[in-house]
Structure 1
Amino acid sequence: MVPSDPEHGVSTAPHRKIIHIDMDAFYASVEQRDNPGLRGKPVAVGGSAERGVVAAASYEARKFGVRSAMASVTAKRQCPDLIFVKPRFEIYKAISRQIREIFAEHTPIIEPLSLDEAYLDVTENLQGIPLARDVALRIREKIKAETGLNASAGISYNKFLAKLASDHRKPNGQYVISPEMGPAFVEALPVGKFHGIGPATAAKFNAFGIWTGLDIRNQSLTFLQENFGKSGTYYYWISRGIDERPVRANRIRKSVGAENTFSTDLSSFDALIGELRPLVDKVWRHCETIGNRGRTVTLKIKFADFEIITRSRSVSSQVAHRDDLERLATGLLEAEMPLPKQVRLLGVSLSSLQGMNDTEPQLDFGI
């Protein structure tokens, strides 16, 4: 329940001091730091000119529209001079640990989102610095001094606005959204810029004639709940600049997954495998980003009549390679062939997650 004054739509909870730290083009910046020949040039980490996807892009590459999760072929087409670099996740993890040690000098309340991004609650910070913006400045200065990398920071009274604020002055900047600024900042924001609202949800909002935060705020809670389910309540409050989610220290992600609904129902094994591989790619990118591996692979199948089945397999060792994940997911699908009905959706997830340091080099595929 959000502590609020329902008549005026304002929070009555005490204001917190939340910082969102986001490293600037983290993987690409590490590669440019370590290889002077890459500095000032468009760099894509991951993929290759022929296949795969971009895991991260330097700011020089972003000027050409290259972005993470883009197909490498598309990225190369948009930026012919793009340089592809193989990712070095052990290096990124080591730097991430170094950065988190800097965070811990200021607060124990740290919620990592990935190797390069975290929320910090500095309402009561360990160094007794009165202003959160000064805490953020010190953190960014020390990250630069110790790693040679730039970080951006957003400072606000809740997580939603802190995340928005960190994007507002990128790269290598910081921005404060005060309690007085919050509602006005949100009302001018396009719905597609709201953290947590993807392209499909933004299109749904637009179909209702809802384009900005103010448009969302003008909707009733009942309308938003009826059309957007449980997320409707969240949208109702964030459109008012209200987000009472706490910064959760030691947050553990249990699983990562991806799914896709097809434009046309499918039934052949080859067609389904063609749709399965991009899902495996996406799940594996998540695993690389959060630095975890898992032991249980689950395949989700939704048929044309909306019946859903799931099939899982656990292995004795963590899934250490992307091809192992594809092999397991493919095996689960193959075991269901021939399928009794056409398929409208496939999903793949990896669970029983643990840190990558525990990964064993080989998998036991024995029954």
Structure 2
Amino acid sequence: MRAQASVLHLDLDAFFAAVEQRDKPSLRGKPVIVGGVGNRGVVSTASYEARVYGVRSAMSTREARARCPHAAYLSGRFEAYRATSAAVMRLLRSRSPLVEPLSLDEAFVDLARADLPDLEVATVTRFAEDLRREVVEVTGGLTASVGIASSKFVAKVASDLDKPDGLVVVAPGTELDLLRPMHVSVIPGVGPATVDRLRRAGVHTIADLQQLSEDELVRMLGRAHGHGLHQLAYARDDRQVEADREAKSVSVEGTYEHDLTDRRLMEQLLTRQAGDVARRLRKNGLSGRTVTIKVRLYDFTTLNRSTTLPSPTDDEALIARMARRLLEDLDTSGGVRLLGVGVSGLADWVQDELFGTGDEDDAGPDEPGQPGTDAPAAPYAAAPVPPDPTGGYRPGMDVVHEEHGRGWVWGAGKGVVTVRFETAETPPGPVRTFAIDDAALTRWQAPAPESE
């Protein structure tokens, strides 16, 4: 660890939902859920007003609607998210040359490279308070939670402690006092399977984890995982802030204590991993064309198989289907030690179905306060695709009408589209319904930013 608290982690609060509330005055202070709006969709981000009802990221939209039926359900607007994220990243880079974006809504900043008189706790605290105020200014009202500590691990933990709009600075030497009472799941890489294995060993908190030797953890979890867990349990993390690290792929893999021989279990594991990959793609505003599986056999032979799609996707069902199909061609009868799924050939855009919903219900606009329907979407189906009853309009999409001006799609289906006419700079506006082929209504695109 560093001798000073000089690693800053910034996390924009409920980012996608906050951008929607900023740009849609009628939704401010109300539950907003961004993601796949059909019953087969997945929640990407829920506003804090929706979280009160138990809605969370990665939950199915069906369950979210059951918990919070009065929320606004919106598809994503990645142009708006990317523009807002870019403004924040420019601000961070103006303060330090070492900024490591993790996704559209979070980044590490190396304060040792910032123009600060010293790295005392009081100094970095003032810096962070000023930075948070500047984030509000450059984003038009969005807030950020910030953690500062002597390592990446502790800084990220700290940024979660006082959400939303919080600031926690962990003074050097107090890291273990902070970590000991926390649940082991705050450690990166400790997912449900590791939590369950540790629970069976009587380990629930980081203080419990510190009672185990490194050798015991290695025997329990394997060399790499056991060693890494032991280091982080004592807040030992010397990873550096890497400027503008660019992801070339997104992948998830798991190593299993006992060799796998059940093909159905392998397919289930690949499906679960595909879901994790898809969620990470969506969180970063990415999609990819090449799906790869990694299989390590009982004799440590490692096999990789890939397939390339005609266009980028972040659809977990499609990624899972391709992964299972790739597994079909491999002989796994001797046993499998490791399985993994990855997506590469990344692009910072996705298809019209931004969150891979794929719900084929022909539904009309929802009741007021519940915008949203899905178009029948089958981009990889062999059968002809029927006409889209939504006209390609998606809940939350920016539109403009020749007479009424700018607004956003409230809902669409059965040949009509309902629009609320308002923008971030106006008060809540009126709602109007049009035929989907109304020539006066078109999609609105933000003007391209001027080159610097």
Same-fold call, TM cutoff 0.5: yes
Q: CA deviation at 1:354?
A: 5.2
Q: Could you report, residue by residue, the CA deviation over 1:285-310 in whole angstroms, capped at 9, with x for unpaired residues? A: 32232244444321346789998743
CA distance in 1, matches of 2:110, 2:44: 29
* Residue pair 2:50, 2:68 contacting (<8 A) in 1 also: yes
CA distance in 2, matches of 1:149, 1:289: 17
TM-score (norm 2): 0.66
- Once the two structures are superposed, the pairs formed by residues 1-367 of structure 1 within 5 Å of their partners are 14-126=3-115, 128=117, 131-147=123-139, 148-228=141-221, 229-258=223-252, 265-266=262-263, 280-300=274-294, 309-314=303-308, 319-322=311-314, 330=321, 333-334=324-325, 337=328, 347-353=340-346, 355-356=348-349
Q: Could you report, residue by residue, the CA deviation over 1:261-296 in whole angstroms, capped at 9, with x for unpaired residues? A: 9x994459xx95x98666555433322322444443
Q: Could you report, residue by residue, the CA deviation over 1:32-90 in whole angstroms, capped at 9, with x for unpaired residues? A: 11111212222110122522100111101111111111111111122222321111112
* Residue pair 2:12, 2:145 contacting (<8 A) in 1 also: yes
CA distance in 1, matches of 2:168, 2:41: 35
Counterpart of 1:7?
A: none
Q: CA deviation at 1:134?
A: 1.7
* Letter in structure 2 aligned against 1:223: E
CA distance in 2, matches of 1:331, 1:217: 41
Q: CA deviation at 1:353?
A: 3.4
* Letter in structure 1 aligned against 2:198: F
> Which protein is bigger by CA-based radius of gyration?
2
Gaps of 5+ in 2: 351-378, 380-452
CA distance in 2, matches of 1:219, 1:143: 42
Q: CA deviation at 1:165?
A: 0.8
Name the SS for the 2:198 alignment partner. Answer: helix
* Residue pair 1:191, 1:213 contacting (<8 A) in 2 also: yes
Q: CA deviation at 1:110?
A: 0.8
Name the SS for the 2:160 alignment partner. Answer: helix
* Residue pair 2:100, 2:109 contacting (<8 A) in 1 also: yes
Amino-acid identity (%): 36
Name the SS for the 1:320 alignment partner. Answer: strand
CA distance in 2, matches of 1:278, 1:155: 33
* Residue pair 1:297, 1:329 contacting (<8 A) in 2 also: no
* Residue pair 1:22, 1:153 contacting (<8 A) in 2 also: yes
CA distance in 2, matches of 1:74, 1:117: 27
Q: CA deviation at 1:241?
A: 2.5
Question: What count of residue pairs does the alignment treat as equivalent?
Answer: 341
CA distance in 2, matches of 1:212, 1:332: 35
Q: CA deviation at 1:196?
A: 3.2
Name the SS for the 1:22 alignment partner. Answer: strand
Gaps of 5+ in 1: 1-10, 358-362
Relative to structure 1, the CA distance from residue 160 to residue 293 in structure 2 (aligned partners, 3 Å threshold; closer, same or farther) is same
Relative to structure 1, the CA distance from residue 153 to residue 80 in structure 2 (aligned partners, 3 Å threshold; closer, same or farther) is same
TM-score (norm 1): 0.80
Counterpart of 1:6?
A: none
